[in-house]
A = this chain, B = another copy of it.
Amino acid sequence: MANISEIRVAILGFGTVGSAVAHVLQAQRFPGIRLTHIYNRGVARKRLSDRAAGLSADLVWTENVDEVLQGDVDLIVETIGGLDPMEEWLQLALRSGKHVVTANKQLIAYRAAHLLQLAREHNRALVYNAAVAGGVPVIPATLHGLQGDRITRLSGILNGTCNFMLSHMEQGAEYADVLMQAQVAGYAEADPTADVDGFDARAKLCILARAAMQVGINPDDVPAQSIRTVAAVDFQYARELGCTVRQIARAELQGDTLHARVGPMLVPKSSPIAWSHGTENMVVTTGDFGGDVVFSGHGAGGNPTAVAIVSDLLAVAHGSSSVALPVRDCAVTGEFQAPHYLRFLVRDKPGIVSAISGALTAVGANIDSILQRPGYPKDALPFVVTTEPCLTSTVAAAVEQIAKMPTMLEPPLCLQMLTDDTRG
């Protein structure tokens, strides 16, 4: 353990992750690492909570953030999240000569370039491997083990909440029920928007693309489709197609354009991406030289995220954290060439199939299969059409026309289908 002088560590936020970091540091007793400060609002209450039990009596507990950001510490661990006021706080910390380790995916997804520049100017480390996939070390693996490759494709399950919900829907439950289950289990927030509408996974995809493909993109440019419109019947149809449904984040680099999208997609059961159960995360990287590499594990939760944070902290202490990437800005499109799954809910009348196939033919999309499971009422009949590979925008144009048909009881559900070839 050469070259380690003592590093004084402060934790911002004493919630699930922050308290886990404190306990991992205490349990592991890494030489040269000393937890000195914990910041939280209403800190007196936190200090008396069960989570504080067993921590060293020497700790300074404070609700004065300046005591931490500009005080006698060397490294700040940020576990609070969000853009505001965290951006300002971490800027202040870097300017005050502190290293920063953060799990804040929104902040890094939107502001990485600026914060890294500031860190460089002050010769401090800013490390954020915990921001993606929690305890699955996909960013360090990419930075330190796949830089020699040219990674052109990423696909992954980056939101444990959606994976929990969709893998429960696979067992037959409806969306509203699994959302409630996820909320009761503490996996989903009262307002589940960030998870189910794909904003969380999208931020992580952008961070991952930056590390693996050296592209800087604005998360707002990546289309995110909600899982709210996926129903139990979609899993039945998916099964007939040898698939299941998962929230997938995927990106593909073609020249100077990144094709990127987040949303529920059909995934072949034979694909590694279908292996993840419950809240697990999974990432598949595809490189020109090394081919596919699969990473899987616990993507969230206090202890797994704490492992990522503490590993970052040790990397900073060892001086081995600095991989300076030549990141370039990159255009983003949501277009993919892929087969698509279309599920309609209709009042059944003669001629519907012909009208739908006509709308698809009109845009140049070919039908691959038509599925209609028995046992549904004629006045609210779900049935499915899958297309041969075609562009997202092509199928969207057809869906827009189809949605206007008077027999449609709700807007058609249109999901991209991953194939074994896309390894999603």
Given contacts A289-B24, A309-B148, A315-B144, contact A326 B1 (CB under 8 A): yes
A148 to B140, CA, bound (A): 13
- 0/1 string, A117-141, CB within 8 A of B gives 1: 0001000000001000001111111
Given contacts A289-B304, A297-B290, A297-B291, contact A143 B144 (CB under 8 A): yes
Distance from A124 Cβ to chain B, minimum over Cβ atoms (Å): 14
Distance from A399 Cβ to chain B, minimum over Cβ atoms (Å): 35
Contact A145 B150 (CB under 8 A): no
Contact B320 A135 (CB under 8 A): no
Q: Does A353 contact B (CB under 8 A)?
A: no
- 0/1 string, A274-289, CB within 8 A of B gives 1: 0100000000000111
Q: Does A311 contact B (CB under 8 A)?
A: yes
Q: Can you name the residue of chain B whose Cβ is closest to the Cβ of A298?
A: B291
Most chain-B Cβ atoms within 10 A of its Cβ — which of A20, A288, A289? A289
Contact A320 B144 (CB under 8 A): yes
Interface majority SS (helix, strand, loop, mixed), chain A: mixed
Q: CB within 8 Å of B: which of A322-380?
A: 322-324, 326
Q: Does A306 contact B (CB under 8 A)?
A: yes
Contact B324 A322 (CB under 8 A): no
Q: Does A313 contact B (CB under 8 A)?
A: yes
Copies in the complex: 2
Q: Does A314 contact B (CB under 8 A)?
A: yes
Contact A293 B289 (CB under 8 A): no
Q: Can you name the residue of chain B whose Cβ is closest to the Cβ of A326?
A: B1
A135 to B149, CA, bound (A): 9
Given contacts A1-B324, A311-B148, A319-B322, contact A135 B304 (CB under 8 A): no
Besides the contacts A20-B289, A137-B146, A291-B303, what 16 more A-B pairs have beta carbons closer than 8 Å?
A1-B324, A1-B326, A135-B149, A141-B141, A141-B295, A147-B310, A148-B306, A148-B308, A148-B310, A275-B275, A289-B306, A290-B297, A290-B303, A290-B307, A293-B296, A293-B297
18 residue pairs A–B, Cβ–Cβ below 8 Å: A1-B324, A1-B326, A24-B289, A31-B326, A129-B144, A135-B149, A135-B290, A136-B293, A137-B146, A137-B293, A145-B308, A148-B307, A289-B304, A289-B307, A290-B297, A290-B298, A291-B304, A318-B323
